Chains A and B, each alone.
Chain A
């Protein structure tokens, strides 16, 4: 952001007129620079939220991210605007992400949402309450998403959803869930300290018990033990920290609502994806249902143009400069998909262990699966000796991989519903 565009003749800043054509390729350059310029201006002016500020080091990606977000929250679509923000609140609440809950509460009110709804899920219309289940499942154990969930929502009745509405809702849910990972990973949430919501009550963290017996081939058993241990340790650290923090919180920050009001079953959280013979949750094979071949076509059909926008996001994250090596990026991506039960036939998962240090794997898993500051220590980042730029890059990968994973599960369920 700090770089200033190089000085160049003033007239080039003007928009090219149609009738006169300059043969200079500079124009091209200006347009390209112009974009990032505008972006950094936007960011510097402080208009951009904390998330955009973090992403601003990757302007191309930021652009496609913002475009998607703008499209699903503000542009044409089957859902009314307040609904969209409310769904976003529900999604963020799953991870107690105060930052996003606050942000969307404010936007919810701004687009004319009923203030009463913010009192909690019970105050919301039944149609939105119906989404709670799929919200829960997608957030923590997306492989449980089944055709039956879709069927329940679409079952004709007074409160039924249309397919197009449901697809938009699912896209918002997946977008916000994965954004929670990013917010958590970049510690944005910690900078944002709303009043009251984080009360250190001294109770030990309700950390999800891991099924250590079911470790998969990636020696995750050991990982998880380790993770647990560290969580305990830094939990204590954190408590003292929060106590200090509450002293000097800014009083004008008013948190509209405590996140847990928008969810049910708060103990439901990520569990190791088990691959047992008797388990009826089959591994999701990308070769049988992929974003490029299947997901895109379906989502674009039911919610026009979103496919291209999401596609653009996935592509631009793939185009980010390689992280140490291209294999490393692929390893991170596939590892995240793997912990969510998605496997690639053409990938040797031994590579993950070779390329990713255990600390990094822990970090990735924590950000991807437990981006919840009430359950995982606020700052898992010090576990790894990551540079800030690397951290942001990895967080972007995590966010996009999670987004795609959730979308794949949800869209496959919708496909199954449509066939049945």
Chain B
């Protein structure tokens, strides 16, 4: 204790003074309680039950209540409470299920007074009534709460929570008859002590056990609860439904919560596991503790404010076998060490940055971001609240917009909306998606789709109708035209064009071949597009040097380096030039191939399948019936490539469209990962329908089951308003038909439509017809229903 401080507080006639101090106990403590005049504290645990007096500079052991050579389990305490009116009276909750009272006024060594063994399981909590001397309440693991009159030998009433173990019971400070109970299943119940048959109200406060609750000492409506879900919640109980008004997220399960005296918004918490500190929170500032006590070496098991009107002294017992008195003055203030700065990326690439105002202004000579990003300094001033003791910091918030990238995600949204993933033949899906990609100026993606169509379509079908149909369709697209620019012999020019159209963001490529680029050859394209020859040309190309083609693929994969692509293009073109025998007009198609190869050089050599039946020249190198599975490794690589590039949309879309053709090739975890990422993205953009479709179409069990969660629908009977537990259309309780159509008075067994204003409704069709002719509700309630 280097920094000892001494505080003296005047509280009416009493004077409390003290300092941060501690003493060793012989055994771990489970709970502590303090007597009314704040001069003594009782510590209870499995192997300890002692009373200490609080002196100026130390704790002094006053009494050991654990007597006998081999103390029974009745001495093993889970909880202890000192009566706040009768200073000789104590109660303990024993781990074996006994409730024991102790009378310090007894002359004998053993101070045990009464023993109640009515509970079947461990008693977790005992609580004296704040004003009624003889009334004691207990809550047990067996799910029951019992109220004892200490003048009688047995409990006077038993309350059955009907919801698992009771973790805490607390009498209300202000309402004489009310007490709150918290349960292991997350519920909190309010009871009237006079009515043991049924709770007054119940609500679910936490997920998992609610370990503790505490009524606000001044405000009658406030109840604080702490749970295993690491939350502290403050509930306003004055309204009809318990309303959560504050919530503090801590870092470990909350074992105890105690309001701080004289500070309306402060409460102290400690944890049951892992975290040994005691925190005092200002509930209006839930993100950082107001004060922290870090003295304990093991979990803190009991905390209590020393005096009910003094906010400066906190006592705590711990599993580390120490008892502490903490001075508020000596607490650590995490706020002082906090860095009030924040940084966050927006959905569209914006960046927000908040920092101490002083920090930003002093940094005035900082250069603006390159690219002329705009900066909006904004200042928020909060009116200082005199009751808040937090240090006030004014921060400046800057938002950086990235102009270039601001519409970068548009393509994502559009693509997601326009892609077709199912419902049509495979070839049409590919073509449609290719078209979508084209329109969004993503030729690489578009070509990938086209290639996929070619690779995986059944050759026979293709010969019949596929290619011609598709090609003519594509011909109408403006971007397709740019491919065909390279027509008629000048392979070089065509390719450079291609590069340009492909890399819109990559301007560098253009200048590589400026001379050769043709600008627009729409008319020519139209002529050539229909020609069936190009694929064959491709074939010839591959024939010439397929090794080279394959090797090029590697360069392509590292596409991020702008210059690799042109290189590849040159190479390809080179080979093309070497092949003078190729028919001139077919070269156009070849121009297509490097384009595709931007992703997948191998893809190019695949085209023969399609061409085979179309062209009379049979090619010796490749069997015409190359199975679709031949391409699977390539496609797999391509998908991984897209996914790694961040275009998980493409990966997933292809995965869905190809379906069984590729699914087996990619391991489930990867697929699931892609699906999850894509669905996450879609949901961030609020593309719920698309995300739903993707979930539906996915073949991963982990994904499809996403759609099967929270599909439960709870229904109340429309007559008696009670939940309908049974299936069927007749309510168990009131034996009336539920959900009767207001028009035909028959039970609705299909779609039920109802007015949200008067909640009458019926068969969809009937309601539609009715509301065409009448504006009033068919049930005759007089409500003016609206059907849109």
In the bound assembly, the distance between CA atoms of A25 and B727 in angstroms comes to 5
The interface stretch among A101-109, A204-212, A296-304, A357-365 is: A296-304
The interface stretch among A48-56, A179-187, A286-294, A367-375 is: A286-294
> Are B96 and A297 in touch, CB under 8 angstroms?
no
The interface stretch among B2-10, B286-294, B519-527, B705-713 is: B705-713
The 8 Å CB contact of A346, one of B96, B252, B715, is: B96
> Are A22 and B751 in touch, CB under 8 angstroms?
yes
Check B272 for interface membership: any CB of A closer than 8 A: yes
In the bound assembly, the distance between CA atoms of A292 and B739 in angstroms comes to 42
Check A23 for interface membership: any CB of B closer than 8 A: yes
Contacts of A22 in B (CB 8 A): 713, 748, 750-752
A268-303: CB near B (< 8 Å → 1, else 0) gives 000000000000000001011000111011100100
Of residues 159 through 215 on chain A, the ones whose CB sits less than 8 Å from some CB of chain B are: none
Q: Given A24-B715, A345-B95: A292 and B76 within 8 A (CB)?
A: no
Check B484 for interface membership: any CB of A closer than 8 A: no
Q: Given A297-B272, A419-B297: A346 and B122 within 8 A (CB)?
A: yes
> Are A27 and B713 in touch, CB under 8 angstroms?
yes
> Are A346 and B228 in touch, CB under 8 angstroms?
no
In the bound assembly, the distance between CA atoms of A292 and B211 in angstroms comes to 10
Check B738 for interface membership: any CB of A closer than 8 A: yes
B44-85: CB near A (< 8 Å → 1, else 0) gives 001000000000000000000000000001001010000000
> Are A415 and B711 in touch, CB under 8 angstroms?
no
> Are B727 and A29 in touch, CB under 8 angstroms?
yes
The 8 Å CB contact of A23, one of B94, B141, B274, B738, is: B738
> Are B209 and A25 in touch, CB under 8 angstroms?
no
Q: Given A25-B724, A419-B298: A287 and B273 within 8 A (CB)?
A: no
> Are B726 and A25 in touch, CB under 8 angstroms?
yes
> Are B712 and A28 in touch, CB under 8 angstroms?
yes
Q: Given A23-B752, A27-B713: A285 and B274 within 8 A (CB)?
A: no
Q: How many residues of B contact A (CB 8 A)?
A: 51
In the bound assembly, the distance between CA atoms of A294 and B275 in angstroms comes to 12
Check A2 for interface membership: any CB of B closer than 8 A: no
Contacts of B753 in A (CB 8 A): 20
Of residues 202 through 227 on chain B, the ones whose CB sits less than 8 Å from some CB of chain A are: 208-209, 211
> Are A296 and B228 in touch, CB under 8 angstroms?
yes
The 8 Å CB contact of B122, one of A9, A31, A287, A294, is: A287
Q: Given A21-B752, A28-B712, A297-B228: A288 and B728 within 8 A (CB)?
A: no
Q: How many Å from the CB of B204 to the closest CB on chain A?
A: 16
Q: How many Å from the CB of A337 to the closest CB on chain B?
A: 15
Q: How many Å from the CB of A285 to the closest CB on chain B?
A: 7
Check B729 for interface membership: any CB of A closer than 8 A: yes
> Are B141 and A346 in touch, CB under 8 angstroms?
yes
Closest chain A residue, CB of each to CB of B73: A345
In the bound assembly, the distance between CA atoms of A98 and B708 in angstroms comes to 36
Interface of B is mostly: loop
Q: Given A15-B707, A288-B46, A297-B274: A20 and B78 within 8 A (CB)?
A: no
> Are B739 and A345 in touch, CB under 8 angstroms?
no
In the bound assembly, the distance between CA atoms of A121 and B208 in angstroms comes to 41
B759-788: CB near A (< 8 Å → 1, else 0) gives 000001000000000000000000000000
Check A418 for interface membership: any CB of B closer than 8 A: yes
Interface of A is mostly: helix
In the bound assembly, the distance between CA atoms of A87 and B138 in angstroms comes to 46
Check B536 for interface membership: any CB of A closer than 8 A: no
> Are A345 and B76 in touch, CB under 8 angstroms?
yes
Q: Given A292-B209, A297-B272: A24 and B739 within 8 A (CB)?
A: yes
In the bound assembly, the distance between CA atoms of A15 and B752 in angstroms comes to 16
Q: Given A23-B752, A25-B724, A415-B273: A285 and B46 within 8 A (CB)?
A: yes
Contacts of B228 in A (CB 8 A): 292-293, 296-297
Check B333 for interface membership: any CB of A closer than 8 A: no
In the bound assembly, the distance between CA atoms of A121 and B718 in angstroms comes to 66
> Are B729 and A24 in touch, CB under 8 angstroms?
yes
Closest chain B residue, CB of each to CB of A17: B751
A1-44: CB near B (< 8 Å → 1, else 0) gives 00000000101000110001111111111010000000000000
> Are A294 and B273 in touch, CB under 8 angstroms?
yes
B703-736: CB near A (< 8 Å → 1, else 0) gives 0000110011111001000001111110000000
In the bound assembly, the distance between CA atoms of A412 and B444 in angstroms comes to 57
Contacts of B253 in A (CB 8 A): 293, 297
> Are A26 and B727 in touch, CB under 8 angstroms?
yes
Contacts of B78 in A (CB 8 A): 287
Most A Cβ at <10 Å: residue of B46, B184, B228, B273: B273
Check B121 for interface membership: any CB of A closer than 8 A: yes
In the bound assembly, the distance between CA atoms of A26 and B739 in angstroms comes to 12
> Are B715 and A418 in touch, CB under 8 angstroms?
no
Check B97 for interface membership: any CB of A closer than 8 A: yes
Q: Given A28-B712, A287-B76: A297 and B728 within 8 A (CB)?
A: no
Contacts of B750 in A (CB 8 A): 11, 22
The 8 Å CB contact of B728, one of A15, A21, A26, A346, is: A26
Contacts of A28 in B (CB 8 A): 712-715, 727
Check B120 for interface membership: any CB of A closer than 8 A: yes
Closest chain B residue, CB of each to CB of A34: B708
Contacts of A415 in B (CB 8 A): 273-274
Of residues 373 through 420 on chain A, the ones whose CB sits less than 8 Å from some CB of chain B are: 415, 418-419
Q: List 7 A-B contacts (CB under 8 A).
A: A24-B715, A25-B713, A292-B209, A294-B272, A294-B273, A297-B253, A301-B252
A-B pairs, 9 with minimum CB distance: A345-B95, A297-B273, A23-B739, A29-B727, A287-B95, A25-B724, A346-B97, A23-B752, A346-B122
